[in-house]
Structure 1
Amino acid sequence: MRKHKKEHHEEHIDETWLIPYADLLTLLLALFIILFASSKVDEKKYAQVMQGLNSAFNGGVSVFEESDTISLDDVSVNDTKKMQESMQDQKLKDQINKEKQDMEAIKKKLDVYINDNGLSLQLRTVVTNDMLKVTIQDYALFDSGTAVVKPEAQKLAAVISNMLSMYPDYKVEVAGYTDNIPIRTNEFDSNWDLSSRRSLNFMKYLLKLESINQARFRSIGYGEYQPIDTNLTPEGRAKNRRVDVNIIRNTIEVKSTIP
């Protein structure tokens, strides 16, 4: 009888459990990453994490690997932002140009009136970076030491008011100034009082036109404290006694300091 050899089969360890174990670890890792991302109030980082997870599960770039890929959403957001900024810049430039043209137009009309009426020594106009300034010497408006507007100055106020009514988008400041010679009368205790009353009284004549929006206006007295010339000479003091009508721009053009 032939002796049968006993066959020995090599025993193999069952490793099928490794697959669900690896999947479980992957899911736990994903869960912790999502929890971490959710704890930060940063939508951009959250989107990046989710993009990385999607790539990792689909055989793409790992969440821990760097990627130069830019999503279409990122491109769209950036393009939209740039477009909005460009539109805002252009709108601001258009507004600045319009206001410059308005200031120059008012100045031109006033200059014609000044020249036609021989008022060049009493009035002057200048366009600055933020306003059109109309300076009127005090003797053209008031008698010395008073705040009563002269009849001829009332006509000037009507002319200025009519021009301002055509440009209703600008605020107007009427400012009074004096020299440094003290005043103390029954009507005025100081130069503060005199400058304030003068600016207010002249502004009232600017407001006589019914089409003028009074909410645009304000008056202020600066007394002797903002001179434009020396107070050591009669000529300098005469220049300091004045009323300014300031038509104020809504936007200020920033001058570049780069040559």
Structure 2
Amino acid sequence: MARRQKRQAHHEEHMDETWLIPYADLLTLLLALFIVLFASSKLDAQKFDQLVRSFNVALNGGLSVLNQPSPVPLDPTLAQQTLHKGQQAEREKTEEERKLEEAIRKETEDLKKLQQQMEGYIISNKLEDKLQTRMTEEGLLITILDNALFDSGKADLKPEARKLATELAAMLVPHPKKVTVTGHTDNVPIHRPEFPSNWDLSVKRAVNFLKVLLENKQLDPAKFSATGMGEYHPVASNATPEGRAKNRRVEVAILRDLAAPPKNSVQP
């Protein structure tokens, strides 16, 4: 009885070592992979051909199950042609990117020239406290406070505001881009027969300013649009008279045709 238990214990202590076979295969494959990676890290045209031939032999050109060579021959110029096509495609892509970057740079310069013209007009007419210009990712944004354009609660342009719109239209002629005119108000309710809400007032102001711009027949009306945002896009707090004055404004955006440049290249 004791001898049988001893043989059983010895049998239980003997471990199953069949896992060593796939483990050894795995190590062999990893070694082969590292050799290929090492060879590829110092690749030139000749070594590339040799590498392709090696893979072809391993995958297609070796002996088949019936110990017959693969019928698919290796074209010795295939690797070079593939490499050349890849390099050519990369050069063409780089050239397209360069042209796009150049076009974006030129468009930004044109918008900055327009901004400088507008800044000159603002300074010469002492309108610094009523007009502002700013470069954004979308294009050039011109902000005009409502007291430079309209009387309180009205949408008809003042005579001096018509002059401003006329001057701006002339500046836009050399820059045939899309232009949006957006009206904004504060949050003080308005109840007038012609303007039941701030929505109505903001829309009418934007449309009236747009109409004066388009009196210049050199501008394409198809590129212009007008919208009203009412009180819902403030730039300052409506809790103070100063904040409400900043919120009552008309914004004229001269939009880019191309994608915006990187943020770090956009200047205020």
TM-score (norm 2): 0.69
Alignment of 1:100-179 (within 5 A): 100-168=108-176, 170-179=177-186
Say whether residues 1:249 and 2:256 are aligned partners: yes
Which residue, out of 230, 233, 236, partners 1:223? 230
1:6 match = none
Which residue, out of 226, 231, 240, partners 1:233? 240
Secondary structure at the counterpart of residue 71 of structure 1? helix
Secondary structure at the counterpart of residue 246 of structure 1? strand
- Write the deviation string for residues 131-155 of structure 1: whole angstroms up to 9, x where unpaired: 1110000011011111101111111
- Write the deviation string for residues 3-45 of structure 1: whole angstroms up to 9, x where unpaired: xxxxxxxxxxxxxxxxxxxxxxxxxxxxxxxxxxxxxxxxxxx
Q: How many residues align?
A: 201
Distance in 2 (alpha carbons) for counterparts of 1:184 and 1:108:
40
Distance in 2 (alpha carbons) for counterparts of 1:158 and 1:63:
80
Q: CA deviation at 1:95?
A: 1.4
Say whether residues 1:199 and 2:189 are aligned partners: no
Secondary structure at the counterpart of residue 107 of structure 1? helix
Q: CA deviation at 1:91?
A: 1.3
Q: Please list every run of 5 or more consecutive structure 1 residues that lacks an aligned counterpart in the other structure.
A: 1-47
Q: 1:75 to 1:229 in 2, by over 3 A?
A: same
2:40 match = none
Q: CA deviation at 1:66?
A: 11
Distance in 1 (alpha carbons) for counterparts of 2:202 and 2:78:
65
1:33 match = none
Percent pairwise identity: 41
Which residue, out of 82, 86, 95, partners 2:90? 82
Distance in 1 (alpha carbons) for counterparts of 2:191 and 2:74:
80
- Write the deviation string for residues 148-203 of structure 1: whole angstroms up to 9, x where unpaired: 011111110011001100111x2101000000001111001111111011001100
Alignment of 1:5-154 (within 5 A): 71-154=79-162
Distance in 2 (alpha carbons) for counterparts of 1:240 and 1:139:
11
**Per residue, is there more helix in 1 or in 2?**
2
Distance in 1 (alpha carbons) for counterparts of 2:163 and 2:179:
18
Q: CA deviation at 1:62?
A: 5.1
Q: Indicate the larger mover: 81-90 or 109-118.
A: 81-90
**Which amino acid letter does the alignment assign opposite residue 81 of structure 1?**
A
Which stretches of structure 1, 4 residues or more, deviate above 3 A after TM superposition?
A: 61-70
Say whether residues 1:180 and 2:187 are aligned partners: yes
Secondary structure at the counterpart of residue 244 of structure 1? strand
* Conserved 8 A contact 1:130-1:253: no
**Which amino acid letter does the alignment assign opposite residue 184 of structure 1?**
H
Q: 1:187 to 1:72 in 2, by over 3 A?
A: same
Q: Please list every run of 5 or more consecutive structure 2 residues that lacks an aligned counterpart in the other structure.
A: 1-51, 62-68
Q: Which entry has the higher C-alpha Rg, 1 or 2? A: 1
1:44 match = none
* Conserved 8 A contact 1:138-1:242: yes
* Conserved 8 A contact 1:149-1:202: yes
- Write the deviation string for residues 218-259 of structure 1: whole angstroms up to 9, x where unpaired: 111010000000000000000000000001112212337xxx
1:35 match = none
Q: 1:201 to 1:66 in 2, by over 3 A?
A: same
Secondary structure at the counterpart of residue 104 of structure 2? helix
Q: CA deviation at 1:63?
A: 7.5
Q: 1:231 to 1:75 in 2, by over 3 A?
A: same
Secondary structure at the counterpart of residue 263 of structure 2? coil
